[in-house]
Amino acid sequence: MKMFNFPGQTNFYAGKVRDVYTIHDSTLVMVASDRISAFDVILPRPIPFKGQVLNQIAAYMLEKTADICPNWLLSVPAPNVSIGKKCEPFKIEMVVRGNLVGHAWRTYQNGTLLCGQTMPDGLKENDFFPTPLITPSTKASAGHDEDISENEIIAQGLATLEEWEKLKKYTLALFERGKELARKQGLILADTKYEFGKLNGEIVLMDEIHTPDSSRYFYADGFAERQQTGERQKQLSKEFVREWLIANYFMGKEGQTVPEMSDEWIQIISNRYIELYEKLIGEKFNPLVLNDEETASRILNGIKNL
């Protein structure tokens, strides 16, 4: 994807998945690329339509949660582009877990302590927690995010006690809404993460929410039966990519090499992203391919209309 240069541009940042342009130090233009990352490493090949899927799910979910807390989004001028307010980010990812899966499950096999909290004994992989668990991580600008406890967040000044209480309240309310939206579509929102910032002293929800990159969904139909029999759960998330990498001896550690991604495997990943969009939103996905000039033109019009 081409790097743009917009009038009034004051900064540019290329993230793992998104390219972020700052306009007049007050507005962000986020371009969701088709890049895919796992274990904090950008994989070598893009996934067709992934950027559009992520951007459109995020916009839909931000609209559906706007009554819970204010968010950064102003407009979506192109399928893979969002324009919004620039906030001062908290250097924390608010990870919230309804089920024992993924990183929590991998941790659980070596002990029940996660982010200063004790997970209940006697759980199986994918079991529901009695109540959702907030397990924050630090937001690393490079390398791996690290688990962090509530006490460490306060001690390190990453949030005041008052801010932390509000972040927790927003996180749990957003997760309940996310679970409700998923339930209507026959899905279980197993875990997700939220990022927040401050704007004019107010806490604001930022970035994407409830997308397959930030969340994990199970199919509700047959979930209990599969848990009873020990069968693998059917899920819609990026976890299948992580599992494929692990099976091919890659976990982002030094000296490890990303396995080759075949054309067939790329298509499978793309199809899974589109499947999640259609299942989660309840509408058919309409792929729209714009060239760089069309995308830039839409962004410019979006900036002018602010």
Reported as a single tens digit per residue, the pLDDT across 223-277 is 999 999 999 998 887 888 988 999 999 999 999 999 999 999 999 999 999 988 9
pLDDT in tens, 65-100: 999 999 999 999 999 999 999 999 999 999 999 999
Domains of the chain: 9-88+252-304 (3.30.200.20), 90-237 (3.30.470.20)
CA-to-CA distance for 242 and 249, rounded, in angstroms?
10
pLDDT for res 234: 87
User: Phi and psi of 238, rounded to 5°?
Assistant: -85, 0
pLDDT > 60? residue 143: no
pLDDT for res 53: 95
CA-to-CA distance for 144 and 147, rounded, in angstroms?
10
Tokens of 100: 């024992």
Predicted TM-score (pTM) of the model is 0.91
pLDDT band at 218 (very low <50, low <70, confident <90, very high): very high
Q: Count other Cβ atoms within 10 Å, centred on residue 184.
A: 10
pLDDT in tens, 248-259: 999 999 999 999
pLDDT band at 142 (very low <50, low <70, confident <90, very high): low
Query: Is 182 within 8 Å of 65 (Cβ atoms)?
Result: no
